[in-house]
Structure 1
Amino acid sequence: MVIGIEADIASGKLGDGSFLPAERELMAEYGVGRGVVREAVARLASRGLIEARPRFRPVVRRPGLDAAFGALEGVVGHLLSAQAGVKNLYDTRVFLEAALARNAAIHARKDDVATLRSALEMNEAAIPDSEKFYSTDVGFHAVLYQITRNPVMPAVHKAFTAWLSPHWMRMPRSPERNRINFLSHREIYTAIIERDPDGAERALLNHLSAAWEYVRGTFEMP
């Protein structure tokens, strides 16, 4: 049954945003009981193929990158509860963003630089407000993923943010610490506009390494 519904979604027979057939229709079509239908709906929802809410008809969501990463949320949440789980995921982010900083220094176009500069300016303006600063911090790093013009990368950034945000929101915040992070962002930006890939990578690594040292005690990590 799950395979059949997946095929209908992939072919477009069940379009994105459309309602899944009613339970009784699915029971008749596949010759199964209500319990089997509900189990199938739960499995499809876990794969990001439908959006299921109590007392509402399930809605079809055509597979996409966001859905693919969203389907991993439960698994990643389990991994993050393990010892050093947050650090392992953070190290993966650092490894990737170091490469993204180098890429930006080499390949960023004028419009990319303008977008990055705008993100940096918003980050500076938000220094007094830690909640806004966090949002603009995320926005600054998001531009590095966008510069690749690879649609996988923004989805990866969105997933990293979703997975790490609950942990990151626990760290102490202050305008003074916000300013330090802003200055690190400015160093990354300066190296990028100077077309200095080594400098951009170094600034990125220094920034994220310092950020980890600041918050590691919050997570009681080794």
Structure 2
Amino acid sequence: MKHDLHASPDRITRRKLSDQVFDRLREMIASRELPPGAPMPSERDLMERFGVGRPAVREALQHMQTMGLITISHGERSRVNELSAGSVLERVDDVARMLLSSEPEQLEHLKQARRMFECGLVRVAAENATAQDVRDLRELVGEQRARIGDPEAFVTADMTFHSRIAQISANPILVATSQSMLRWLFQYHGVLLHWSGREKITLHEHDDIVDLIAARDADGAVAAMQAHLDRSNPLYLHANAINRAD
């Protein structure tokens, strides 16, 4: 049988110089040779260190900025960014919103994911909440109640309430994921509150959830959160239809 050299797994593929520079810089950041907040070496220093031209260095640096690894400021040295779960997820916000707008059926997947996610979070909250956590949640419900009549402020307060439940987990990845899901849903939720007239129902459900967290009733808190999200999910569908019709 004739051997196809082009299909060989051993075939050597030439890579762009800028990609190789990017990989080397990424390794320097990962190894803390360039720690968060540190200034990046100058273009000239990088050219000399890697033996490449200015175009390769500049393209690599631009790629690093696009990836959120560094910040390039004109007139100042570029600096290494402090990475966190939140900063990483924030970089996909625009893409996530575009996906929801161009493929509305993805909204169903997001709602399902949020339901499963938040029910897990509220169970953790009921098992671990401190007295201060409960006081904070009650204060947030009170602040949300004061925002009735201002739809955007009411939704913002709603997001803060759910984010505070996530914070009880003390897990930054869970907190960042919760906040991202809420941001992605915000464009739909903001529309529905103008006509839903169900703010008082939302507040009553939030009160119930806090009471169950305070009572350390994990199963009850999960059931209440499920009912809360199941009631609001059909409203997202209606609001999404309004967005597409506009």
Q: TM-score range by the shorter chain?
A: 0.7 to 0.9
Q: Which runs of 5+ in 1 are unaligned?
A: none
Distance of 1:29 and 1:116 partners within structure 2: 54
1:128-143 maps to which residues of 2 (within 5 A)?
128-143=149-164
CA 179–51 in structure 1, closer or farther in 2 if over 3 Å, else same? farther
The answer to whether residue 115 in structure 2 is matched with residue 115 in structure 1 is no
State the identity %: 30
Q: Which residue of 1 aligns with 2:201?
A: 180
Q: Which residue of 1 aligns with 2:15?
A: none
Deviates more, 1:34-43 or 1:136-145: 34-43
Number of matched residues? 221
Distance of 1:7 and 1:30 partners within structure 2: 13
Local SS of the residue matching 1:202: helix
User: By how many angstroms is 1:124 displaced?
Assistant: 1.5
Local SS of the residue matching 1:173: helix
1:1-222 maps to which residues of 2 (within 5 A)?
1-52=21-72, 57-73=77-93, 75-80=95-100, 81-173=102-194, 176-220=197-241
Deviates more, 1:129-138 or 1:49-58: 49-58
Distance of 2:106 and 2:173 partners within structure 1: 23
CA 76–52 in structure 1, closer or farther in 2 if over 3 Å, else same? farther
User: By how many angstroms is 1:117 displaced?
Assistant: 1.4
Q: TM-score, normalised by structure 2?
A: 0.77
Q: Which runs of 5+ in 2 are unaligned?
A: 1-20
Structure 1 or 2, whichever has the larger Rg, is 2
Contact 2:189 2:239 in 1 (8 A): no
Distance of 2:193 and 2:132 partners within structure 1: 35
Cα RMSD (Å): 2.6
User: By how many angstroms is 1:57 displaced?
Assistant: 4.7
Deviates more, 1:56-65 or 1:97-106: 56-65
CA 175–126 in structure 1, closer or farther in 2 if over 3 Å, else same? farther
Contact 2:212 2:221 in 1 (8 A): yes
Contact 1:10 1:62 in 2 (8 A): no
Q: TM-score, normalised by structure 1?
A: 0.85
Name segments (4+ residues, structure 1) moved above 4 Å: 53-57
- The CA deviation string for residues 42-65 of structure 1, in whole angstroms up to 9 with x for no partner, is 332233211346776533113321
CA 23–77 in structure 1, closer or farther in 2 if over 3 Å, else same? farther
